[in-house]
């Protein structure tokens, strides 16, 4: 895995500028660096050596020297494509997968993208045409950001590299906070930095003659086959997933595996007999500690497991570090858990496989059961349901309140993705009056439109794949693994795996028996029953418990009353949110954590507070 960056146009001391940008990506590629400059562009690269350790340094040039490539990711079918390209007369100078992109682009142009199997973000500069081509993989596993200002086009794997570009003026994008409060993550393509954008998954970008052109080259379309039998589904999943894991294990260095107690990572790990797996947990409570399950599975299927119990002091002491590497505020508490498990794994291996994507492709989230669970309630007259929702909306939070609120809404109104936090009324209450507070449905409406007429579960999956997966799941997976110079691969997010998942009928995804029904049946052929049937936990973090302990309550209370907090929020509303949780009146932990995570991030990126680990993250005043 690697990091890349670049800019067009002239600046004072271009060599120093591109090296400063690349230095911000050293954690993504500590093994070597590479640079290219000519009259139109400066390009920088940091390498983590995985394939062709001796010959894979970048940049890589076309045979005539016209095209210049820098690439982050892995192409799993590169040998197959290499064979085709050699047959068409191309000559390869290395054994790396990177070079396939260069010759493939020469041969097929943009059509190359739909021939690839892998995760990627890359840049190709055409020296004769003075054009730049950027591309990002199908699901958004690997990142790419860009900005256009002052006659320059600047791009990088991480935003912190763009911030290092000479003359870039760092400003907060207020609208990003507005959306973040609803979703708990930065919603692409905008970022928290004004003028900086995220290239969406399955999109490519041309920069020519000072103009940016972006278009989508692939879309994850579902086409459920209601005639498919359970046996057919399970056999197809088993076959395609075994092939995917095999492809994702291609490497010239040792490959390990993250292992929780759930079916996703366990199914991946079942192909790792005799090799290393890695697990983290919190305390002794099995609701927050999956180590016991992971070790039991490891013993039964012959794995070497390395585990670590994260102490509260460790977790809180690294929050600034975590938010620094995230680039943007992310309130998903499991992100820090990924940071720790990545640190452990990086001591033993350079590559790990993980289970991200299984829930979105195969119907794994409990929220996908909501259409069936609420079907009887929705038979009540709409007017009655709206009246009950209006009554509940004016009351403090209580058990069942959310059910009543959602019961009066359409799917498009109530579901904005797997994570949904403050209502519009609550958002207006906690944000300062002069801050924008708009309904999040404006962002999801165009996505809903593309799956009009499909069943509710499939539509929810589609929304999560296009918004939640890239904005939260893959953001934290990439940033937390790369913080420890560790390459993370996700065999569920493979185009061939998606092709099988896209045809599954609803009854084989979510039913009364379980979520991810067909996937669990396939995994059961490889795993002990206690794992194949186990409910998903996914690196659970005891935030709810910690926020009811005086030490952490006081830490957050101080931060909520800080000068920084007063720039954006209503301090009295924040304090009420915190107190009601602390006294046990309701569970506001996710809402509290969302605000607190933003304040920590802002402290690091705008107040200049050190992100070095070890200090408790009280926000500066």
| Confidence (pLDDT) at 515 | 94
Is the pLDDT score of 325 beyond 70? yes
Q: b/e map of 380-406 (b: 16 or more CB within 10 Å)? A: eeeeebeebbeebeeeebeeebeebbb
CATH number of residue 16's parent domain: 3.60.20.10
CA distance linking residue 46 with residue 68, whole number of Å: 15
Instruction: For residues 12-37, give the mean pLDDT.
Output: 94
> Are both 511 and 599 inside the same structural domain?
no
Phi-psi region of 325 (alpha: psi -120 to 50; beta: other; left: phi over 0): alpha
Instruction: For residues 290-306, give the mean pLDDT.
Output: 87
| Confidence (pLDDT) at 409 | 86
> Are both 282 and 162 inside the same structural domain?
no
Residue 193 DSSP code: B
Model pLDDT for residues 460-517, shown as the tens digit of each residue:
999 999 999 999 999 999 999 999 999 999 999 999 999 999 999 999 999 988 899 9
| Confidence (pLDDT) at 491 | 97
- Angle CA 484–189–148, to nearest 5: 95
| Confidence (pLDDT) at 53 | 63
| Confidence (pLDDT) at 538 | 54
> Are both 50 and 97 inside the same structural domain?
yes
> Are both 571 and 501 inside the same structural domain?
no
Helix, coil or strand: residue 123: strand
Q: Is residue 174 part of a domain?
A: yes
Q: Examine the fold and report which residue of 532, 567, 583 is the final residue of a domain before the chain moves on.
A: 532
Say which range, 208-212, 529-533, 535-539, has the weakest mean pLDDT.
535-539
Phi-psi region of 128 (alpha: psi -120 to 50; beta: other; left: phi over 0): alpha
Q: Is residue 415 part of a domain?
A: no
Could you tell me the pLDDT band of residue 286, with boundaries at 50, 70 and 90? low
> Are both 198 and 246 inside the same structural domain?
no
Beta bridge partners of 41: 8
CB 487 within 8 A of CB 351: yes
Residues 6+ apart with CB under 8 A from 386: 408
Reference 331, options 197, 444, 421, 416; nearest CA is: 421
CATH number of residue 476's parent domain: 3.40.50.620
pTM over 0.85: yes
Model pLDDT for residues 538-572, shown as the tens digit of each residue:
557 899 999 999 999 999 999 999 999 999 999 99
Model pLDDT for residues 565-596, shown as the tens digit of each residue:
999 999 999 999 999 999 999 999 999 999 99
Could you tell me the pLDDT band of residue 379, with boundaries at 50, 70 and 90? confident
CB 546 within 8 A of CB 552: yes
> Are both 514 and 554 inside the same structural domain?
no
Give the best-scoring range by mean pLDDT among 251-255, 304-308, 388-392.
304-308
> Are both 20 and 74 inside the same structural domain?
yes
Q: Examine the fold and report which residue of 181, 216, 251 is the final residue of a domain before the chain moves on.
A: 216
Residue 534 DSSP code: P
Q: Is residue 587 part of a domain?
A: yes
Q: Is residue 87 part of a domain?
A: yes
CA distance linking residue 499 with residue 494, whole number of Å: 9
**Average pLDDT, rounded, for the chain:** 92
Is the pLDDT score of 255 beyond 60? yes
The CB-side HSE value for 308 (13 A sphere, CA atoms) comes to 18
Q: Is residue 379 part of a domain?
A: no
> Are both 353 and 311 inside the same structural domain?
yes
Phi, psi of 176 (to 5 degrees): -65, -35
Is the pLDDT score of 104 beyond 90? yes
| Confidence (pLDDT) at 162 | 98
Say which range, 170-184, 255-269, 520-534, has the weakest mean pLDDT.
520-534
Q: Which residue out of 2, 5, 198, 204 is catalytically annotated?
A: 5
Q: Give me the domain span that covers residue 547.
A: 543-605
- Angle CA 566–430–179, to nearest 5: 100
Say which range, 48-52, 189-193, 289-293, 523-527, has the weakest mean pLDDT.
48-52
Determine whether 204 is an active site residue: no
Number of independent structural domains in the chain: 3
Sign of the torsion angle spanned by Cα atoms 314, 158, 76, 355:
positive
| Confidence (pLDDT) at 3 | 94
The CB-side HSE value for 448 (13 A sphere, CA atoms) comes to 15
> Are both 523 and 586 inside the same structural domain?
no
Instruction: For residues 57-73, give the mean pLDDT.
Output: 93
Instruction: For residues 98-121, give the mean pLDDT.
Output: 97
More confident residue, 378 or 453: 453
| Confidence (pLDDT) at 6 | 98
Q: Examine the fold and report which residue of 513, 532, 551 is the final residue of a domain before the chain moves on.
A: 532
Phi, psi of 437 (to 5 degrees): -140, 105
Is the pLDDT score of 287 beyond 70? no
Reference 347, options 489, 484, 487; nearest CA is: 484
| Confidence (pLDDT) at 238 | 98
> Are both 513 and 592 inside the same structural domain?
no
CA distance linking residue 286 with residue 275, whole number of Å: 25
Q: Which helix (H) or strand (E) holds 256?
A: strand 255-258
> Are both 309 and 348 inside the same structural domain?
yes
Residue 277 token pair: 């797996």
> Are both 480 and 521 inside the same structural domain?
yes
Q: How far is CA 269 from CA 13, 262, 264, 391, 489, in A?
A: 49, 11, 9, 49, 13
Q: Is residue 177 part of a domain?
A: yes
Q: Is residue 455 part of a domain?
A: no
| Confidence (pLDDT) at 1 | 61
Q: Is residue 342 part of a domain?
A: yes
| Confidence (pLDDT) at 392 | 83
Q: How many other β-carbons are positioned within 10 Å of the β-carbon of residue 612?
A: 11
Instruction: For residues 156-166, give the mean pLDDT.
Output: 97
Model pLDDT for residues 328-340, shown as the tens digit of each residue:
999 999 999 999 9
CA distance linking residue 441 with residue 503, whole number of Å: 28
| Confidence (pLDDT) at 407 | 82
């Amino acid at each position: 895995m690697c990091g890349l960056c670049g800019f067009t146009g002239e600046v004072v001391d271009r060599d120093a500028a591109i090296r400063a940008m690349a230095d911000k990506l050293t954690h993504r590629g500590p093994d070597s660096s590479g640079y290219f400059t000519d009259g139109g562009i400066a390009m920088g690269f940091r390498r983590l050596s995985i394939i062709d350790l001796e010959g894979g340094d970048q940049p890589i040039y076309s045979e005539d020297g016209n095209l210049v490539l820098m690439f982050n990711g892995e192409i799993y079918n590169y040998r197959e494509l290499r064979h085709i390209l050699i047959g068409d007369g191309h000559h390869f100078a290395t054994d790396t997968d990177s070079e396939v992109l260069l010759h493939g682009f020469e041969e097929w142009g943009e059509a190359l993208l739909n021939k690839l199997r892998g995760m990627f973000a890359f840049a190709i500069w055409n020296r004769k045409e003075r054009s730049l081509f950027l591309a990002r993989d199908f699901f958004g596993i690997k990142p790419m950001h860009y900005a256009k200002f002052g006659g320059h086009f600047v791009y990088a794997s991480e935003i912190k590299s763009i911030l290092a570009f000479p003359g870039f003026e760092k400003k907060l994008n207020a609208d990003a906070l507005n959306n973040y409060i609803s979703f708990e993550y930065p919603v692409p393509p905008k970022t928290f930095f004004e003028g900086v954008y995220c290239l969406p998954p399955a999109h490519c970008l041309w920069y020519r003659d000072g103009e940016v052109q972006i278009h989508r080259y692939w879309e994850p379309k579902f086409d459920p086959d209601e005639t498919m039998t359970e046996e057919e589904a399970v056999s197809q999943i088993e076959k395609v997933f075994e092939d995917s894991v095999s492809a994702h294990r291609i490497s010239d260095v040792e490959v390990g595996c993250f292992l929780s107690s759930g079916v996703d990572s366990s199914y991946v790990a079942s192909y790792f007999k005799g090799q290393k797996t890695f697990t983290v947990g919190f305390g002794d409570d099995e609701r927050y500690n999956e180590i016991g399950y992971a070790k039991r599975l490891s013993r039964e299927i012959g794995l070497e497991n390395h585990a670590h119990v994260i102490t509260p002091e460790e977790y809180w002491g690294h929050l600034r570090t975590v938010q620094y590497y995230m680039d943007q505020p992310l309130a998903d508490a499991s992100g820090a858990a990924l940071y720790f498990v990545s640190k452990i794994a990086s001591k033993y291996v350079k590559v790990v496989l993980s289970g991200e994507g299984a829930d979105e492709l195969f119907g794994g989230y409990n929220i996908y059961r909501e259409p069936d669970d609420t079907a009887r309630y929705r038979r009540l007259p709409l007017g009655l349901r709206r009246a009950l929702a209006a009554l509940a909306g004016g009351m403090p939070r209580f058990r069942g309140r959310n059910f009543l609120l959602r019961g009066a809404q359409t799917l498009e109104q109530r579901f904005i993705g797997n994570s949904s936090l403050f209502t519009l009324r609550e958002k207006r209450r906690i944000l300062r009056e002069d801050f924008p507070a708009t309904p999040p449905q404006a962002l999801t409406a165009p996505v809903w439109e593309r799956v009009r007429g499909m069943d509710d579960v499939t539509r929810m999956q589609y929304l999560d794949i296009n918004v939640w997966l890239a904005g939260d799941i893959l953001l934290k997976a990439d940033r937390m693994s790369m913080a420890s110079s560790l390459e993370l691969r996700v065999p569920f997010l493979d185009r061939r795996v998606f092709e099988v998942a896209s045809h599954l009928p609803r009854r084989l995804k979510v039913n009364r028996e379980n979520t991810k029904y067909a996937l669990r049946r396939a995994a059961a052929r490889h795993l002990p029953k206690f794992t194949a049937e186990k409910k998903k936990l996914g690196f659970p973090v005891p935030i709810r418990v910690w926020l009811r302990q005086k030490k952490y309550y006081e830490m957050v209370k101080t931060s909520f009353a800080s000068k920084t907090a007063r720039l954006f929020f209503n301090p009295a509303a924040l304090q009420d949110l915190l107190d009601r949780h602390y006294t046990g009146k309701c569970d506001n932990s996710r809402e509290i954590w969302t605000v607190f995570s933003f304040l920590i991030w802002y402290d690091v990126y705008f107040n200049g507070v050190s992100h070095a680990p070890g200090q408790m993250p009280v926000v500066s005043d």
